Structure 1
Amino acid sequence: MKKSDLAGRIAAGLLAAGGMAAPAFADGAPAGFDPQALFAPLSLPDAANAFRDSAGKPGPQFWQNRVDYAIQAEIDPASHALRGDETITYTNHSPDALDVLWVQLDQNAYRADSRGSLGSPRPRKDFTDGYQLDAVEVDGKPVHYLVDDTRLRVDLPQALASGGKQLKLRIRYHYTVPGTWGGRTAVTPTRNGDIYEIAQWFPRMAVYDDLRGWDTLPYLGSEFYLEYGNIDYAVTVPSNYIVAGSGELTNPKDVLTTTQQQRLAKAAQSDATVMIRTPQEVNDPASHPKQGGTQTWRFHMEHTRDVAFAASPAFVWDAARINLPDGKHSLAMSVYPVEGVGKDKWDRSSEYVKGAIEHFSSKWYPYPWPVAVNLGGHGAGMEYPGIVFDGFDDKGPMLFWISAHEIGHTWFPMVVGSNERRSAFMDEGFNTFIDVYASDAFNHGEFAPKRDSEYAPKGGNPVDEILPLLADADAPTMMAPADSVAEKYRHSVSYFKGALGLVLLREQILGPERFDPAFRKYIATWAYHHPTPSDFFRFMSSEAGEDLSWWWRGWYLNNWQLDMGISAASYVDNDPSKGAVVTLASKQKLVMPATLRIDYADGGHEDIRVPVEAWRQSATPKLALRTGKRISKLTLDPDHKLPDADRSNNTFNMP
């Protein structure tokens, strides 16, 4: 029977108990479930106000400061040193006059005396001296400053007024680039030369916002919170180096051969990967327009919070066109050493980047930049705007998954600029969520389903794999600050639970027809801004047309488990023609909408959806089923879509 036919014959409601068959487990309100607790009014961590409204959108008085950078940098391969000279144009849109500026010095995390080094459970053996500041000036004049761990306080001789007033902060500096132990930024040796993977490489402004004023959490390794603007940067390297970086290369005629320029032009029109610099050309002097000395590569990037780059004499280089909505295009590029060459290895990298970005762009929000680079290096598995750092020895499904995941960070947090240092699930969880569907979409599901080996053995069901975490009394909630989440829980909480929460919201609570437009609008609304968890919770509830307080409370603010079941069922007046009454029960604090399958004695079956409202007034709700014929079996969640802790009580056999 069609669901539309069944709908008129089934009523779900609270009925008086009586005449039930023997229960699968004891009747009565289970100790774990309290409807009044789950469905109580919810106070979110951040109150709605004129800056962030009750619909989860920027309010009428919303403001955000702006940071633009102009940077000159030079790499000295002999000493592994980077020397930089940056000018920051800082625009104060806040209502406050600012008498100091705070700047992030993330390279100082590599010092032996840094908070990150001393507080890490894994002792580090290698260190650098961090940033060495050669000069700090405001509007051309030296100023007093204070370095405290990974923060720099600049004392202004005159407060920067509100209302869009600007100043220019110039910092000249140098530091030693870590070896591969640096993780996210490193010098990686390869057969044909070192690869410089350069990130967190210039002092970056801390965010001053309406939530905390200056957000000055020290850098302990839990990623970033950065302000938006435009960045122009120039990198001077030996003439035999190739540089690939965030944004658009603005002087290709100065640093590329005529052949390479022609190949790039061809790639911009090609859905198939085009070689820009072949493996055979890596050691060929003719693959550089200049012999000896240095070259300066210049890049420009708009609407960005950061830039990163890679430089090496060892790069193989290829590219392919990315097709974006409304007839627009971008360019997928991959750079990697000859060690990464292979038909199931980096030969397919640009294909993977292209496919992932085309999916993310059509499904959620268009890719905003002219180039997307995948770097094959020592394997940081790290994302930056317009460029990601992966491992040159990755191959097969893992190369696709890591490439798609890292480039997926374009949307979270590079476009939607949430605070990664405080709310990791809005970064890793949201990105892992969109990864799931990218794997399904790529090349007819070649690498589907997307699995994370850390928590998902081959063939496992994700809703079962989350159960140990939900049952762990020591596990943090997704609202725990990123730096407070132990490595034991980092992936399972921030990535896996964060992603599964959105999958369940999309597929089991709202449905794609309501979730997808709301999620797209959330991305567009908060693009290049800084939403909080409270903004997201309010936005999705408002746009989807659903009070989701119970879901935010159970899955996000708490680590509540789910264990629903069927405790009893009987025919009305012992007569199958009059329908049946089914009693549900929950042994845990969280409940969800669920499918109830009715298997009939004649071999047919029907499904109904039990709404979460069935649980609002009772821990043992009763459903009236106007079925009209004999039932053989009842099953709650027959397709195993919910993270039910104990499925032994999900099936009830009728006498």
Structure 2
Amino acid sequence: MKRFYTSLLVAAVSIQGTFAQNIMNNPESNHGNKFEQLGTILPTSNEQRTASGAPGVKYWQQRADYDIKCSLDEKKLTLTGNETITYFNNSPDVLTYIWLQLDENEHSNTKNANYQSASKMPASSTVQTLDKSADNGADNGYGVNVIGLTDALGKNLKYTINKTMMRVEMPVPLKSGQQFVFKVNWNYKIGDRIAQGGRGGYEFFPEDGNHLFTMAQWYPRLCVYSDFQGWQNHQFTGRGEFALTFGNFKVQITAPADHVVGGTGECINYSAVLSPAQLARWQKAKVATAPVEIVTLAEAKVAETKKSTQTKTWVFQANNVRDFAWTSSRKFVWDAMAQPISGKNVMCMSFYGKEAYGLYSKFSTRAVAHTVKTYSDFTFPYPYPVAQSVEAANGMEYPMICFNYGRTEKDGTYSETSKNGMLGVIIHEVGHNFFPMIVNSDERQWTWMDEGLNSFVEYLTEELWDNKFPSKKGPAYTIIDYMKLPKDQLEPVMTNSENIVRFGPNAYSKPATALNILRETIMGRELFDYAFKEYARRWAFKHPTPADLFRTMEDASGEDLDWFWRGWFYGTDACDIALDSVKFARPDFDGKIPATRMVNARMDKPAVNAFEDISKKLNREDKRIVFYTDKDQNARDFYWKYDRGLAKADSTNLGKQEFGRQIELLSTEEQAKYAGKYFYELSFSNKGGLIMPIIVEFTYKDGTKKVDKIPAQIWRLNELKTSKFYVEDKEVASIQIDPMRETADIDESNNTWGIKEKASKFQIFKQKGATAARGQSVGTNPMQRSLDK
């Protein structure tokens, strides 16, 4: 799911014993801990998972195929379905039962997981919140009703429902290599997703009296049975998402005849459900290089007013996927275009109502195409035939389809926040096709393997959309406010999903930032990209664990990164490297200490990251990179010009800062021996505890600069203090540590010597107040005030 920019999500639960311990063999020493190998922490390699991080010769995984028929009743707001499941036992184990997920039970007040957090009496409240607090335990009618459960011959099967999980007993033990076919009949009442929350449900539009359905986690589905943990049958609490088994799906969806339906996989009966004109537009879209409207805005507006009482059945086929989701509404405009990936066309499509038309018609499908292309470049070629974005005032992902937000003002204008938020959420959710829909990690146990890795590649993709895109996750400096929180408000990234206090920063931003630092600052792009692609390739359509990622990154790069995983994933220390002192000596020093100076600081333009982070700089310097908004100028708008000063821009604000210096004279003999040389000894201390490289920028008196990147290993014999001696041919005017803010240093006040510009201050992990629909513009925006639209 989703894009967190805030640290306000708080779960009041104990975290004792819920995270992987950062075991140290020499904890009282000033060395020998941070660089200790992870052998005492990582699981022992075996024939299923090798020490190199690759699947072993005896790696196995289960499979589940589904044949589902369901019917949507818009009047009663119910869904009825039946499914035939074929479960393949590829494990070496004999199974006497299997587990299924019933995620819709989370909406029930009697069948949910019942994970509670502390609550207090509010000063004021909404009726909906009070209704929940006043709940008397009576069944609210939500959750899955299992009507029948039989084997292939129609014989009833014994089953037990435990909250959001269902255990099915095998009539006879299921041996290795065998398969089991069974049938489930079920129904449930569909919830109001806007009012009640949740992954799936409906949104009602009172202005035109229509619904928009996003049907997710909607059918009983198999849990994962794996070599490293057996059954993954943790309860669904609404946060930790899911781990699922790959298989083939055939899904038949019966909906009102005037609805447009989109789903995982390919629709195999468009000729039966589309009008001749729409079918012709679909054929045109299959080779189009710009979005083609298959269902037009005019057609969608007509459908809103004429509600059909008939039904149509849409049939979808999806192979080698771990889940199936779908959407249905008569409000939808539907557009599509083709994106070539490794010799085949991927159909990139969007579904959206008139409320989002001004944003989605211009950007959504283009963003989908850009995402599948860019992720493919960093991992493996996108293997599926379609990728779809649905505007549904939320953010959630499923194979080949995702639900996003982004609506305009009634006059069609929008704020830049709405535009960038929409682009970001589309990239993020479409990107989830790779992590975890294909590289199928266990989200319920390790959210960061899903959200963190995806947020990292999302950042790379945003950067390649537009060099001025204001990415919120990825640049090292954006994680500083989280990293410097008190330790009692932090937990390691390697913490179970349900037990994280600040979920967004911990599971999304910190791992994304860590990987970007690893790429840009520690390993370099070439080594990192090769190793990361190897991890994605090795574990595509398989079930990786954290150890598989850590081991593969080292195995494929030749870099010992155990110190990095320890610091960023197993610990809570922050980076705070202080430049404690600079000893300066020169043979021709005249004994006069230069006076301090005052310097001005500059404020950047709106909605553009005011700090030019290392990734933007390197992307711009790489002549092989063509940004999407340069390649397709139709993806430019008012804000593209606004950010470049081509439309009205804000003025700059100046601040001032004063710096001094320390000096020390050489002896007469040394002056004679080293005439014309300049000597500096820089002393550093590790105040934050997190081991990181030291990046030193020298600015010389003649205005030139030099950067020295000191590897993290300089701390290996003393993790608290270190120093480095320099012999320079020119006199240094000032020294700055981490000039490009690459290391997430939480205190930059101790990073300078001499004269330095005052850095702009940023606040992160805050978000705009709640709106009527997620991602919708609020108030007046510059686009409305400008003639340059």
The Cα shift of 1:319 comes to: 1.1
- The question of 1:258 aligning with 2:290 is answered no
CA distance in 1, matches of 2:232, 2:717: 43
Q: 1:197 is aligned with what amino acid?
A: T
Percentage of matched positions with identical amino acids: 32
The residue aligned with 2:351 is 335
The residue aligned with 1:297 is 314
CA distance in 2, matches of 1:594, 1:119: 44
The residue aligned with 2:452 is 429
The Cα shift of 1:120 comes to: 5.1
Unaligned residue ranges in structure 1 (runs of 5+): 1-30
Secondary structure, aligned partner of 2:407: coil
CA distance in 2, matches of 1:118, 1:40: 37
Aligned counterpart for 2:221 among listed residues 184, 190, 204: 204
The residue aligned with 2:374 is 359
The residue aligned with 2:433 is 410
Q: 1:398 is aligned with what amino acid?
A: G
1:495-510 matches, within 5 Å, as: 495-510=508-523
Once the two structures are superposed, residues 39-87 of structure 1 have per-residue CA deviations (whole angstroms, 9 ceiling, x without a partner) of 1222334222221111111112111111111111111122111111111
The Cα shift of 1:346 comes to: 4.4
The Cα shift of 1:206 comes to: 0.7
Determine which structure has greater relative contact order: mean sequence separation of CA pairs < 8 Å that are 6+ residues apart, divided by chain length: 1
Give TM-score, length-normalised by structure 2: 0.73
CA distance in 2, matches of 1:628, 1:194: 72
The Cα shift of 1:474 comes to: 2.2
Instruction: Answer whether contact 2:484 2:574 (CA < 8 A) is retained.
Output: no
- The question of 1:37 aligning with 2:33 is answered yes
CA distance in 1, matches of 2:288, 2:522: 41
Instruction: Answer whether contact 1:110 1:117 (CA < 8 A) is retained.
Output: no
The residue aligned with 2:705 is 605
Instruction: Answer whether contact 1:257 1:287 (CA < 8 A) is retained.
Output: no
CA distance in 2, matches of 1:85, 1:133: 10
Aligned counterpart for 1:624 among listed residues 707, 725, 728: 725
1:438-477 matches, within 5 Å, as: 438-442=461-465, 444-445=466-467, 448-451=469-472, 461-469=477-485, 471-477=486-492
The residue aligned with 1:5 is none
The Cα shift of 1:241 comes to: 1.6
The residue aligned with 1:183 is 198
Aligned counterpart for 2:83 among listed residues 68, 86, 92: 86
Secondary structure, aligned partner of 1:295: strand
The residue aligned with 1:646 is 747
Change (3 A) 1:286 1:100: closer
Aligned counterpart for 1:348 among listed residues 335, 360, 363: 363
Instruction: Answer whether contact 2:253 2:313 (CA < 8 A) is retained.
Output: yes
The Cα shift of 1:114 comes to: 3.5
Change (3 A) 1:240 1:600: closer
- The question of 1:230 aligning with 2:248 is answered yes
CA distance in 2, matches of 1:304, 1:272: 28
CA distance in 2, matches of 1:620, 1:339: 58
Instruction: Answer whether contact 1:594 1:611 (CA < 8 A) is retained.
Output: yes
The residue aligned with 1:11 is none
CA distance in 2, matches of 1:538, 1:555: 15
- The question of 1:589 aligning with 2:678 is answered no
Change (3 A) 1:154 1:587: same
CA distance in 2, matches of 1:57, 1:97: 26
Instruction: Answer whether contact 2:477 2:743 (CA < 8 A) is retained.
Output: no
Instruction: Please tell me the root mean square deviation across aligned C-alpha atoms, in Å.
Output: 2.6
- The question of 1:370 aligning with 2:385 is answered yes
Change (3 A) 1:83 1:317: same
Q: 1:207 is aligned with what amino acid?
A: V
Once the two structures are superposed, residues 269-304 of structure 1 have per-residue CA deviations (whole angstroms, 9 ceiling, x without a partner) of 11111111112112557999x975321110011111
Secondary structure, aligned partner of 1:155: strand
The Cα shift of 1:93 comes to: 0.9
Unaligned residue ranges in structure 2 (runs of 5+): 1-26, 120-128, 409-417, 587-665, 756-789
Aligned counterpart for 1:104 among listed residues 98, 101, 105: 101
Query: How many pairs align?
Result: 609
Change (3 A) 1:154 1:508: same
Instruction: Answer whether contact 2:273 2:312 (CA < 8 A) is retained.
Output: yes
Q: 1:151 is aligned with what amino acid?
A: M
The Cα shift of 1:192 comes to: 5.7
Change (3 A) 1:410 1:287: farther
Instruction: Answer whether contact 1:281 1:287 (CA < 8 A) is retained.
Output: no
CA distance in 2, matches of 1:401, 1:32: 45
The Cα shift of 1:239 comes to: 1.6
Instruction: Answer whether contact 1:192 1:283 (CA < 8 A) is retained.
Output: no
Q: 1:599 is aligned with what amino acid?
A: T
CA distance in 2, matches of 1:392, 1:503: 27
CA distance in 2, matches of 1:425, 1:285: 42
Q: 1:315 is aligned with what amino acid?
A: F
Secondary structure, aligned partner of 2:33: helix
CA distance in 2, matches of 1:568, 1:431: 40
The Cα shift of 1:591 comes to: 2.0
Secondary structure, aligned partner of 1:597: strand
Secondary structure, aligned partner of 1:450: coil
1:569-588 matches, within 5 Å, as: 569-570=582-583, 571=585, 575=670, 577=677, 579-588=679-688
CA distance in 2, matches of 1:79, 1:229: 32
Secondary structure, aligned partner of 2:395: strand
Change (3 A) 1:403 1:156: same
Aligned counterpart for 1:280 among listed residues 278, 298, 317: 298
Instruction: Answer whether contact 1:192 1:314 (CA < 8 A) is retained.
Output: no
CA distance in 2, matches of 1:314, 1:650: 56
Change (3 A) 1:606 1:80: same
CA distance in 2, matches of 1:282, 1:87: 35
- The question of 1:194 aligning with 2:208 is answered no
Moved over 4 A (4+): 120-124, 283-288, 571-576
Q: 2:497 is aligned with what amino acid?
A: A
Instruction: Answer whether contact 2:115 2:237 (CA < 8 A) is retained.
Output: no
1:237-256 matches, within 5 Å, as: 237-256=255-274
Q: 1:449 is aligned with what amino acid?
A: P
Instruction: Answer whether contact 2:112 2:163 (CA < 8 A) is retained.
Output: yes
CA distance in 2, matches of 1:256, 1:375: 19
- The question of 1:309 aligning with 2:322 is answered no
- The question of 1:270 aligning with 2:267 is answered no
Once the two structures are superposed, residues 238-273 of structure 1 have per-residue CA deviations (whole angstroms, 9 ceiling, x without a partner) of 222211111000111111111111101111111111
CA distance in 2, matches of 1:104, 1:207: 10
Q: 1:81 is aligned with what amino acid?
A: T
1:128-139 matches, within 5 Å, as: 128-139=141-152
Instruction: Answer whether contact 2:405 2:425 (CA < 8 A) is retained.
Output: no
Once the two structures are superposed, residues 611-644 of structure 1 have per-residue CA deviations (whole angstroms, 9 ceiling, x without a partner) of 1111111232232323345444333222222211
Residues 598-607 or 195-204, more deviating: 598-607
1:501-520 matches, within 5 Å, as: 501-520=514-533
- The question of 1:168 aligning with 2:181 is answered yes
The residue aligned with 2:600 is none
Instruction: Answer whether contact 1:38 1:589 (CA < 8 A) is retained.
Output: no
CA distance in 1, matches of 2:449, 2:174: 32
Change (3 A) 1:71 1:607: same
CA distance in 2, matches of 1:553, 1:114: 39
